[in-house]
Amino acid sequence: MSIEELFFNNNAKTAINVAQARGVILVTARINNIPTYEYTPLQVKQAVVGYRKSR
């Protein structure tokens, strides 16, 4: 399973809620012996849209 690494800028309340959700997801994966891989937001974007050089 792939999951995006937690990134937040200024909103700590949102970060806490997202971190709690990630925790549940990661614990569930571990309990079910599902390998997990974490990627940065930039890595996810590049994987989805690919690399495109500006003109």
Q: Does residue 25 belong to any structural domain of this protein?
A: yes
Q: Does residue 55 belong to any structural domain of this protein?
A: no
Instruction: Please say whether the beta carbons of 41 and 9 come within 8 A.
Output: no
Nearest to 5 by CA among 33, 30, 25, 28: 25
18, with CB counted inside 10 A (0-12, 13-18, 19+), is middle
Boundaries of domain holding 26? 2-49
**pLDDT score recorded for residue 46:** 87
- Total number of domains constituting the chain: 1
Q: Does residue 28 belong to any structural domain of this protein?
A: yes
Q: Does residue 54 belong to any structural domain of this protein?
A: no
Nearest to 30 by CA among 20, 18, 22: 22
Instruction: Please say whether the beta carbons of 4 and 36 come within 8 A.
Output: no
pLDDT in tens, the chain (55 residues): 999 888 777 777 888 888 899 999 999 999 999 999 999 988 888 888 886 665 5
**pLDDT score recorded for residue 53:** 63
Task: State the pTM of this model.
Answer: 0.68
Q: Does residue 41 belong to any structural domain of this protein?
A: yes
